Structure 1
Amino acid sequence: MRRILVPLIFGIVGCAVLVSLGLWQLRRLEWKEAILAEIEARIAAEPLALEAALGAPDYTPVTLTGRIEGDPLRFIYSGSEEDLVVAVQTEEGRRIMVDLGLAPMGAAAALPEGPLTIAGNLDTPVGKGTPAPMVQNPWAARSPEGMAEVLGTGPVFVVAREVAPPLTFVAPLPVTTEGIANNHLGYAIQWFGIALVWAGMSVYLIRRTLRSKD
Structure 2
Amino acid sequence: MTKRILLLGLLGLAFLTFVGLGVWQIERLQWKQDLIARVDARIHAEPVDPPRAVTSDDEYRRIRLNGTYMPDADTLTQAVTKLGPGFWVMTPMKMDDGRVILVNRGFITQDFKDKAAYLAPSGQVSVTGLLRLTEPKGGFLRTNDAAAGRWFSRDVAEIALARNLTSVAPYFIDADASGSPNAYPVGGLTVVAFTNHHLQYALTWFAMAALTIIGGIIVMRRSDRGDDSA
TM-score, normalised with respect to structure 1: 0.78
User: Any conservation in 1 of the 2:77–2:150 contact (CA below 8 Å)?
Assistant: no
The number of residue pairs the alignment matches comes to 211
Deviates more, 1:134-143 or 1:81-90: 134-143
- Aligned residue for 1:26? 26
Once residues 196 and 213 of structure 2 are traced to their aligned partners in structure 1, the CA distance between those partners, rounded to angstroms, is: 28
User: Any conservation in 2 of the 1:75–1:132 contact (CA below 8 Å)?
Assistant: no
Q: Gapped runs of 5+ residues in structure 2?
A: none
Once residues 175 and 40 of structure 1 are traced to their aligned partners in structure 2, the CA distance between those partners, rounded to angstroms, is: 13
SS at match of 2:74: strand
User: Pairwise CA RMSD of aligned residues?
Assistant: 3.3
AA partner of residue 143 (structure 1): D
SS at match of 1:48: coil
Q: Percent identity of the aligned residues?
A: 24
Once residues 102 and 138 of structure 1 are traced to their aligned partners in structure 2, the CA distance between those partners, rounded to angstroms, is: 16
- Aligned residue for 1:64? 65
User: Any conservation in 2 of the 1:84–1:102 contact (CA below 8 Å)?
Assistant: yes
Once residues 95 and 132 of structure 2 are traced to their aligned partners in structure 1, the CA distance between those partners, rounded to angstroms, is: 17
AA partner of residue 8 (structure 1): L
Deviates more, 1:160-169 or 1:191-200: 160-169
User: Are 1:40 and 2:40 matched, yes or no?
Assistant: yes
Once residues 75 and 44 of structure 2 are traced to their aligned partners in structure 1, the CA distance between those partners, rounded to angstroms, is: 28
Distance 1:174 1:62, change over 3 A: farther
Q: Displacement of 1:122 after TM fit?
A: 1.9
Q: Gapped runs of 5+ residues in structure 1?
A: none
User: Any conservation in 1 of the 2:11–2:212 contact (CA below 8 Å)?
Assistant: yes
- Aligned residue for 1:170? 185
- Aligned residue for 1:77? 79
Distance 1:213 1:138, change over 3 A: closer
TM-score, normalised with respect to structure 2: 0.73
SS at match of 1:118: strand
Distance 1:108 1:37, change over 3 A: farther
Distance 1:213 1:87, change over 3 A: closer
Where in structure 2 are the equivalents of 1:159-198 lying within 5 Å?
Answer: 159-163=174-178, 168-173=183-188, 175=190, 177-178=192-193, 180-198=194-212
Once residues 5 and 12 of structure 2 are traced to their aligned partners in structure 1, the CA distance between those partners, rounded to angstroms, is: 11
